[in-house]
A and B are shown apart, each in its own frame.
Chain A
């Protein structure tokens, strides 16, 4: 009898935690996609929470400080780490993506302060939704500049 109470209590807690985890996962799942995948599936993912990563194309950055509207284009980069390594590291992959005019690109719009790290060939990791207009509306914008902190070898300084 004494044990039974604890077993029932334990099962109830377990059920509650499992329920919490699954319902929260379902409500808040974000789908990782590359820009190629996004283009291929555009109809079926409209309105869903997506997390998309790509290379920032510097020439396309526009910022209106009045409305804090930021827009720019990102170019497709592969999501596979082994491929990134094979192509010479993240910096090289981002650079190749930006200079390639045939690369799939997508326009993104973000409202808020212009991030300090936003510049040409930065890696943008964006969370948001694809609109029916084909523009990606970003809620959360993360930027990484591999050229600055992950580069293995100093190139910009003379010997």
Chain B
């Protein structure tokens, strides 16, 4: 009964979404404000509807209704209740409902804002968001129904269907298969929602962009309206990526955090275009340039968001030739194709109106460097895209399927990322409008000298690896330039306003939050770069089978196997936990680690959880590889030392702080016509 209700509500929500699309279009065409208002109310109704349906699904999940096939697939009796709730997004059908739920929430939020200045956008924003919601609801209603149940025919066959087929009886499995143990980690519980939040919130700026194209109101109003949405979208997406990396590091047990898996790349691609978009909208706001380009970026981001949802949700990990296995694949491709082609057609239609108001004329001006930054992000995107589609192309051309692995991505993207780092060092010092080598050089030489000095010290004390040295030089340069910018501007305030340093710094940041938030983000990127350079270049590892009290040395650490125990953990997993002592170079005791293997009987699967000892200098990462109760051989361990890797996670927190500084809501400024405001700006730095 409940399953029918849940499904019925979804069907209703689907038609409400379609109605709101239709009413918005028709209302706009016939200039009927009441019809548009009706479309808006319909749209506001979708979220409560999906919430109700999702509530039903969660109830089925936590009450072990295994006759519902989705419940059977993602839960089991042994799972604790909170995991049963999060199993909502642990499988494809449920996560599509989750996606629609978030989408409708954001659509409702955006509809509740004040629209008086932007009436003409409203119907089209409704159309885009409701259409997107309707697409995902349609997938759930027609292809991936989380409420479908099991039925048994007379000859014992089991059929999955929503309504009882003829001559069948309901089939009740006694227990479910349980959530994939890999997904039971806290990182994995919040990682998908974060990623989805990022994906979904990028739909909002896209909807406004489309509204701007359709209505012909092609000034930068749509960008100003969605600036904060874009930042929040970027925050969620970035954090989703970081959480995913942390999860991989903690759970997958291969000592790394990023493997250039197609699914990771699928989540990275909209991040790349989104990051480019964040930067290039500033040029449109300041200089009236790159309007066409911004449209292209947001259209690409939207297409990649949908594509990313498809790849991350199709359940076909690590295999590029598996698109066909999912029933929803063709639907996704049609939807992406149709939205992409119609967006591009609209863009071409408005192309002449989106010409720049000024011209780029200095290669080293701030706007030219921003453009270069954009091109670099797009280049990384092209590398990623090439890597993902290369097997298909090569098969078409040569008949032989050829793929490229992580070394391809590392090699092709490293120079691009290095150039991006250099830009982070140079661009903040260049002026809008016009810069020359001379003006830039004057601003840059001190930091460059100090960075070279730091690099020399690193050369003599830490490493002679050329790539690492280039990396550390760039990190030092960007940090110095950024701190110099904070220092210079605070000093100016201290003198002009007679403030102390702290007040000056804080006022400075709060007066220009996007700019200084951005600089904080640059700093965080440098910290992350240190971590990435550390683990990628300096990681060392060893492995061995140790008797009790035996030890193995790696780097400055000695790891001693002390004891092992087996016991039952929560949710019925069988835990094999080793205790190893850690000693430093001089033999002083540093503490103990507990690498373990968890066996999940419901899923018949092991999870290898490392013992980690984190310091700013490095991470000692110990895996329990093998231990047989019967054998007297002792236990086998694999040990990694990952130098500097914790700066990656520290950087992630600084990053979060930086975005919060940039994105925290402030009162919307009074509306000043943009063109007149721009006319007052000179080409000097803002």
Contact = CB atoms under 8 A, between A and B. Distances in A.
Interface of A: 2, 5-6, 9-10, 13, 16-17, 20-21, 23-25, 27-32, 49, 51, 63, 65-66, 68, 79, 81-82, 85, 112-114, 116-117, 125, 127, 140, 142, 144, 148-150, 152-155, 157-159
Given A24-B412, A65-B625, A159-B152, A29 B363 contact: no
B403 A30 contact: yes
Contact of B402 (A13, A29, A79, A116): A29
B442 interface: no
Interface in B585-629: 603-608, 623, 625-626, 628
17 contacts: A6-B363, A13-B379, A20-B379, A21-B386, A24-B412, A29-B402, A29-B408, A30-B404, A32-B401, A63-B626, A82-B324, A113-B543, A114-B625, A144-B319, A153-B150, A157-B173, A159-B172
In the A-B complex, the 9 residue pairs with the closest CB atoms: A32-B401, A116-B606, A28-B408, A113-B625, A24-B412, A65-B636, A2-B361, A157-B173, A65-B626
Contact of A79 (B253, B317, B321, B603): B321
Contact of B359 (A2, A10, A112, A127): A2
B576 to A, nearest CB: 12
B312 to A, nearest CB: 15
Contact of B319 (A25, A125, A140, A157): A125
B363 A5 contact: yes
A28 B638 contact: no
A68 B173 CA distance: 40
A68 B408 CA distance: 28
A66 B628 CA distance: 12
B360 interface: yes
B38 interface: no
B378 to A, nearest CB: 9
A84 to B, nearest CB: 8
Given A30-B405, A68-B625, A20 B416 contact: yes
A28 B412 CA distance: 10
A30 B406 CA distance: 11
A81 B325 contact: yes
Nearest to B150: A154
Contacts of A16: 415
Contacts of B379: 13, 17, 20
Interface residues of B, number: 64
Given A2-B360, A154-B158, A28 B411 contact: yes
A71 B36 CA distance: 67
Given A153-B160, A154-B150, A159-B171, 19 more contacts: A6-B363, A9-B363, A13-B375, A13-B376, A13-B379, A21-B382, A24-B404, A24-B411, A28-B404, A29-B402, A65-B545, A68-B625, A113-B626, A116-B608, A117-B605, A125-B318, A144-B318, A149-B73, A153-B150
B407 interface: yes
Given A5-B363, A65-B636, A125-B319, A29 B404 contact: yes
B4 to A, nearest CB: 21
Given A5-B363, A125-B319, A31 B633 contact: no
B383 interface: yes
A65 B633 contact: yes
B486 interface: no
A66 B415 contact: no
Contacts of A9: 363, 372
A110 B298 CA distance: 45
Contacts of B572: none
Given A2-B361, A29-B403, A158 B626 contact: no
A116 B160 contact: no
A113 B638 contact: yes
A31 B402 contact: yes
B375 A25 contact: no
B72 interface: yes
Interface stretch (B174-182, B234-242, B489-497, B548-556): B174-182
Nearest to B359: A2
B405 to A, nearest CB: 6
A85 B605 CA distance: 26
Contact of A32 (B173, B360, B403, B628): B403
Contacts of A159: 152, 171-173
A149 B180 contact: yes
A123 to B, nearest CB: 9
Given A65-B636, A148-B177, A10 B375 contact: yes
A121 to B, nearest CB: 13
A116 to B, nearest CB: 4
Most buried by B among A10, A25, A63: A25
B315 A30 contact: no
Nearest to A119: B604
Contacts of A81: 321-322, 324-325
Contacts of B412: 20-21, 24
A29 B150 CA distance: 45
A65 B636 CA distance: 6
B400 interface: yes
A25 B407 contact: no
Nearest to B607: A116
Contacts of A49: 405
A23 to B, nearest CB: 8
A76 B177 CA distance: 29
